[in-house]
Amino acid sequence: MQAMHSPTLKPSPLDPFRTRNRSPFLVGAASKSRRRVCVVASKSKREKDPKKRVVITGMGLVSVFGNDVDAYYDRLLCGESGISVIDRFDASKFRTRFGGQIRGFCSEGYVNPKDDKRLDDCCRYCIVAGKRALQDANLGGYHRSKINRVRAGVLIGTGFGGLTVFSNGVRTLLERSHRKITPFFFPYSISNMGSALLAIDIGFMGPIYSISTACATSNYCFYAAANHIRRGEADVMLAGGVEASMVPIAFGGFVACRALSQRNEDPKTASRPWDRDRDGFVMGEGAGILVMESLEHAMKRGAPIVGEYLGGAINCDAYHISNPRADGLCVSSCILSCLEDAGVSAEEVNYINAHATSTIAGDLAEINAIKKVFKNTSELKVNATKSMIGHGLGAAGGLEAIATLKAIQKGWLHPSINQFNPEPSVDLDTVANIKQQHEVNVAISNSFGFGGHNSVVAFTAFKP
């Protein structure tokens, strides 16, 4: 669908979640605002207070490449596609019959067997990824008992929530009776339950909630979680996103939107961001969760530090329910606000993990926004994780944040695969088809969602 008219341009309000005072980005005076924000960013300094510096001490995921972070990134570096024909349900009558379906998932050792039979995969993915992140952060079992759990929180979002439980409940209502609906229908379908169940399991009692902003969800959660720490409300936060969307109702909905690629004859090459022959995104699922901690708290307990969260930003296009602004204006504003919050200049950024879904309009709108912010792109690398794992919707930003942090750790960027016929206007280095060695200085990760939700977060290697 196309918008029928251009929106009235109004000044964007200050983001209520931000912890620093900033000037609002005036959309109606775009060029002046961009110059002003660039100047502010260049003069800013990174956070020095160890109580407010936010570090990453653990990572956990559930992905089409399994549940191990290192194995996940190794397969990304190899340029392997995790896309395949769907066999979880009969998709033979759909126009699209493939996706990033998770196979062989096992929650043994992480989820109580009795609960495991009742839970939606959305909750199961969340609990497994969250506990694996805690183990990675040396916060499993005994070690977790040593922290102040009142100052430990869980902020894991999802775009849909428990879709399998929900759709099964609707089917029971229509085919049998309301009396046959499971009493777990409501608790296991609502979007906050992944965070809640994980908090109940591990005993965290700080800020516990969920954010749902479609495909921008994970970054919104990282941003809010970091600000809980910066405001002194928490020492430790589990943050990220989860989605268990490979079910008929969700899949059929996106087919109805005509948003998905229909390259059924060759699914592994279907997700092709920035390629002229792209025909839509490839649906995926999973979970990506980080342990975020104040530097002071991490140092006191001798935590392993993976990297540092520098800052983030969120805003909204206020334009259309699904189409992005073609000029990328609000996305560029979001990137600039992120750099300001992070205390870095555009020149310091040399890697972008792009949203890059493989849609006709979205890919180019993001590139337009990047070019508005980064004038010298000679050292800038931009890649697309979704080219291999598909679009994990609410989990996408979490899975991509982990890929970004692994790139910082390893000094290697995974390729953007399926780059056969590049768009002429995409004159950036998209790490096409082959991994590249690259020492990352500052990285940003972009995520955008239906409704015009924009989110950007910045990471770097930890330096004391």
- Residue 114's identity, in one-letter code, is K
Q: Within 10 Å of residue 26's Cβ, how many Cβ atoms?
A: 17
For 41-131, strand residue ranges (E) read: 54-62, 84-85, 98-99
SS3 for 230? helix
User: Is position 215 annotated as part of the catalytic site?
Assistant: yes
Given 122, 215, 330, 334, the catalytic residue: 215
d(CA 314, CA 316): 7
> Which residues, 6 or more positions from 387, have their beta carbon under 8 angstroms from its beta carbon?
81, 271, 272, 273, 356, 358, 415, 416, 417, 418
User: Is position 391 annotated as part of the catalytic site?
Assistant: yes
d(CA 156, CA 6): 35
- Residue 348's identity, in one-letter code, is E
User: Is position 320 annotated as part of the catalytic site?
Assistant: no
How far, rounded to the nearest angstrom, does the alpha carbon of residue 304 sit from its chain's CA centroid? 23
- Residue pair 100/39 in contact (Cβ under 8 Å)? The answer is no
SS3 for 9? coil
Burial (CB < 10 A; 0-12, 13-18, 19+), residue 402, is buried
The dihedral through the CA atoms of 369, 374, 375, 377 has a sign that is negative
d(CA 72, CA 286): 12
Given 123, 297, 334, 355, the catalytic residue: 355
- To which residue do tokens 């970004």 refer? 404
Q: To the nearest 10°, the Cα dihedral for 403, 462, 154, 181? A: 10
User: 240 phi and psi, to 5 degrees?
Assistant: 160, -155
Q: What is the largest CA-CA distance in the chain?
A: 65
Given 228, 330, 334, 391, the catalytic residue: 391
d(CA 329, CA 317): 8
Q: Give catalytic residues, as residue numbers.
A: 215, 355, 391
